[in-house]
Chain A
Amino acid sequence: MNNILVCIKQVPDTSDVKINPETNTLIREGVKSIINPFDMYAIEEAIRLKEKFGVKAVALTMGPPQAEAALKEAISMGIDEAYLVSDRAFAGSDTLATSYTIAKAIKKIGEFSVIFCGKQASDGDTAQVGPGISTHLDIPQVTNVKKIEEINTTTARVERMTEEGFEILEIPLPCLFTVVKEINEPRLPSLKGIMRSKNAKIQLLNAAKLDIEEDRLGLKGSPTLVSKIFSPQRRKSGEIFTCAAEEAVEKLVNALKNYIH
């Protein structure tokens, strides 16, 4: 069994993100940064596999220098090593450029049997980077994993959430999983972990250290064009008819008629 990798993202800690209407970008000032909540489940699952197989659990994030804090938090939970993929050249990356860059960084770090990602990030909500990484690495993937039923050094059997229920899939290793929150309950940091994280050296991977094509980085390598970002209008809550059934049905039918017209 090779080591386990978990890819995480630092995101603003708020469900009510403010957007600058002129630039269509998030207003990050004054907002605390946290690890993307879905990535916490990915970290927990990586630590569990590490404990099961006696290998190392490695974390990686791509972002500005302050994303180091997210990696330190992951170490305080039990991650052994951490890499920060950071360079001005990466700024403005869309999901294509991001997954390309991360895939190149992973190749640089080494071989991993399993790569975990959260199913999506709470800021962008695209759910594309995980699948993108596996495509660039040319390894199989299962998204929305809610349970690892069985795993050995060559294959894994997992349950994948779907809208209707779940599927059971068998997949050869190495592979990539994106996980949903049903998979586990992330642990809190430990005191010894926090102490270790304070002294931990986060390894920096910049563009110069990676074997990459410059055209595929940052804004230049990002075909995605954001035309507009906005907060959706709050939907009105439904109407409840509490009167007698017959009368309620009549009211409901009328309401539906009015809605159609």
Chain B
Amino acid sequence: MMDYQLNEQQIMIRDLCRQIAQEKIAPLAAEYDKTEEFPWPIVKALAQADIFGVSIPEEYGGLGGGVLETCIATEELSKACGGITLCFAASYLGLDPILLFGNEEQKKKYLPDLAAGKKLAAFAITEPAAGSDASGIQTTAKKKGEHYVLNGTKHFITNGGEADTYVVIAMSDKTKGARGATAFILEKGMKGFTFGKKEDKLGIRASSTRELIFTDCECPKENILSKEGMGFIITMKTFDVSRPGVASQALGIAAGALEAATKYSRERIQFGKPISSFQGIQWMLADMATEVEAARALIYATARMIDAGVKSVSKESAMAKLFASDTAMKVTTDAVQIFGGYGYMKEYPAEKRMRDAKITQIYEGTNQIQRNIIALQLIKEMAK
């Protein structure tokens, strides 16, 4: 790995997360992949180690890090299992809008428990008819006195059912299109807020992906993030800071696959010598390693840019997510190839990484949407 000039605290986060990944996550990854149970014992271990607080300001009980710290933790944990890591990474997706747009009261109310890992968060925008096209949101929020009444269904929600704190995007004024969307903080247990179908997925099976159902769910008006009509902007700004996290999940999965494939190539004997001595395998490993390092460099640079306070980061953030997830898909596929027949078997972890990698090209904006964002910004910059 290249030297990224990490500071003492970042190195500490990296080393501790590496230890957790090796000692607590790796031994259980295959089991959780099989059973699809939510990894609460690992949530507890991460909480005890203060990992949930890495990027939450100290005044709310965190360690005061930024996006880079979330990325470092996500990468290390994902080396052992990209699915289990989501309990952490998706909680940050859920709490990022509160960090970015919450008022002091909301931050004081929600962040300390999330920093301590006592509670998990989730973010909910996707609906059956609204994926990449957020303007298709059907969930409504009607004002009624001191409350908003929510009706509708969100689906494919990561940490759904397991999280306590949800940021939900609903239409408070349908006539305004995207400008009519509002972000609400909802709590598990609120009247009219229930959970529906749990998805059976190709990969990241240790992560809960579930429906949220709102039936005349009353949300107090002080639970609005920012103000009415800001839902779409909050979503876009949240994705700007969360996409390097998805990229880090992809990076971790890829780096884990690269390490396993390199190790295996030195052990596997064919034609009387380790397959690592064949140029065909060497070149594959060389390409994989180069792409993994390039993804890491892009992610770290983007995270540092965000942490330095640069305002316009959509393009770089999209680039990091696009490149790292495409890299993860390619590297994990090549890792299966290097493992040969064994790579295809469920008894070995190579195929799981390939299944886990695929989602990173799809969620938090498909890679086609990422390219749209990049191109739009590119053209805008040229037109200035």
A191 B51 Cβ-Cβ under 8 A: yes
The reply on A188 being an interface residue by CB < 8 A is: yes
Given contact pairs A194-B12, A194-B16, A187 touches B53 in the complex (Cβ within 8 A): no
- How many residues in A have their beta carbons less than 8 Å from beta carbons of B? 9
Give A159-202 as 1s and 0s: 1 = Cβ < 8 Å from B's Cβ atoms: 00000000000000000000000000001111111110000000
Chain A residues near B53 (CB-CB < 8 A):
191
Q: A193 vs B9: C-alpha distance in the bound complex, in angstroms? A: 12
Chain A residues near B63 (CB-CB < 8 A):
191-192
* Cross-chain pairs A/B with CB under 8 angstroms, 30 sampled: A187-B45, A187-B48, A188-B16, A188-B19, A188-B20, A188-B23, A188-B24, A188-B45, A188-B48, A188-B49, A189-B16, A189-B49, A190-B48, A190-B49, A190-B50, A191-B12, A191-B13, A191-B16, A191-B49, A191-B50, A191-B51, A191-B53, A191-B54, A191-B63, A192-B50, A192-B63, A193-B50, A194-B12, A194-B16, A195-B12
What band does the interface of chain B fall in when counting residues whose beta carbon is under 8 Å from A?
10 to 19
Complex interface residues of chain B between 46 and 81 (CB less than 8 A to chain A): 48-51, 53-54, 63
> What distance in Å separates the Cβ of B177 from its nearest Cβ neighbour in chain A?
44
Complex interface residues of chain B between 189 and 220 (CB less than 8 A to chain A): none
- Whose C-beta in chain A lies nearest to the C-beta of B13? A191
- Whose C-beta in chain A lies nearest to the C-beta of B24? A188
> What distance in Å separates the Cβ of A163 from its nearest Cβ neighbour in chain B?
29
Complex interface residues of chain B between 1 and 53 (CB less than 8 A to chain A): 9, 12-13, 16, 19-20, 23-24, 45, 48-51, 53
> What distance in Å separates the Cβ of A196 from its nearest Cβ neighbour in chain B?
11
Starting from the known contacts A188-B23, A195-B12, 5 additional A-B residue pairs (CB-CB under 8 Å) come to A187-B45, A187-B49, A189-B49, A191-B12, A194-B16
Q: A103 vs B9: C-alpha distance in the bound complex, in angstroms? A: 38
Chain B residues near A192 (CB-CB < 8 A):
50, 63
- B: residues with CB less than 8 A from A are 9, 12-13, 16, 19-20, 23-24, 45, 48-51, 53-54, 63
Interface of B is mostly: helix
Chain B residues near A190 (CB-CB < 8 A):
48-50
Chain A residues near B50 (CB-CB < 8 A):
190-193
Q: A187 vs B50: C-alpha distance in the bound complex, in angstroms? A: 12
Q: A188 vs B48: C-alpha distance in the bound complex, in angstroms? A: 8
Chain A residues near B19 (CB-CB < 8 A):
188
- Whose C-beta in chain A lies nearest to the C-beta of B46? A188
Chain B residues near A194 (CB-CB < 8 A):
12, 16
Chain B residues near A189 (CB-CB < 8 A):
16, 49
> What distance in Å separates the Cβ of A192 from its nearest Cβ neighbour in chain B?
5
> What distance in Å separates the Cβ of A194 from its nearest Cβ neighbour in chain B?
6
- Whose C-beta in chain A lies nearest to the C-beta of B51? A191
- Whose C-beta in chain B lies nearest to the C-beta of A194? B12
Which of B12, B45, B51, B63 has the most chain A CB atoms inside 10 A of its CB?
B12
Q: Which 8 A-B pairs have the closest CB atoms?
A: A191-B50, A190-B50, A190-B49, A192-B50, A188-B49, A187-B48, A194-B12, A191-B63
Q: A60 vs B12: C-alpha distance in the bound complex, in angstroms? A: 25
> What distance in Å separates the Cβ of B192 from its nearest Cβ neighbour in chain A?
38
- Whose C-beta in chain A lies nearest to the C-beta of B15? A194
Chain A residues near B48 (CB-CB < 8 A):
187-188, 190
- Whose C-beta in chain B lies nearest to the C-beta of A187? B48
- Whose C-beta in chain A lies nearest to the C-beta of B48? A187
Chain B residues near A188 (CB-CB < 8 A):
16, 19-20, 23-24, 45, 48-49
Chain A residues near B9 (CB-CB < 8 A):
191, 195
Q: A188 vs B12: C-alpha distance in the bound complex, in angstroms? A: 13
Q: A187 vs B45: C-alpha distance in the bound complex, in angstroms? A: 7
Chain A residues near B12 (CB-CB < 8 A):
191, 194-195
Q: A188 vs B18: C-alpha distance in the bound complex, in angstroms? A: 11
> What distance in Å separates the Cβ of B235 from its nearest Cβ neighbour in chain A?
30
- Whose C-beta in chain A lies nearest to the C-beta of B53? A191
Q: A175 vs B288: C-alpha distance in the bound complex, in angstroms? A: 58
> What distance in Å separates the Cβ of A32 from its nearest Cβ neighbour in chain B?
14
Which of B49, B54, B63 has the most chain A CB atoms inside 10 A of its CB?
B49
- Whose C-beta in chain A lies nearest to the C-beta of B73? A191
> What distance in Å separates the Cβ of A188 from its nearest Cβ neighbour in chain B?
5
Q: A187 vs B16: C-alpha distance in the bound complex, in angstroms? A: 12
- Whose C-beta in chain B lies nearest to the C-beta of A192? B50
Chain A residues near B16 (CB-CB < 8 A):
188-189, 191, 194
> What distance in Å separates the Cβ of A22 from its nearest Cβ neighbour in chain B?
38
Q: A129 vs B13: C-alpha distance in the bound complex, in angstroms? A: 36
> What distance in Å separates the Cβ of A70 from its nearest Cβ neighbour in chain B?
17
Q: A187 vs B24: C-alpha distance in the bound complex, in angstroms? A: 10
Give A217-248 as 1s and 0s: 1 = Cβ < 8 Å from B's Cβ atoms: 00000000000000000000000000000000
Chain B residues near A191 (CB-CB < 8 A):
9, 12-13, 16, 49-51, 53-54, 63
Which of A187, A188, A190 has the most chain B CB atoms inside 10 A of its CB?
A188
Q: A194 vs B51: C-alpha distance in the bound complex, in angstroms? A: 12
Chain A residues near B45 (CB-CB < 8 A):
187-188
Chain A residues near B13 (CB-CB < 8 A):
191
Q: A154 vs B45: C-alpha distance in the bound complex, in angstroms? A: 32
> What distance in Å separates the Cβ of A256 from its nearest Cβ neighbour in chain B?
39
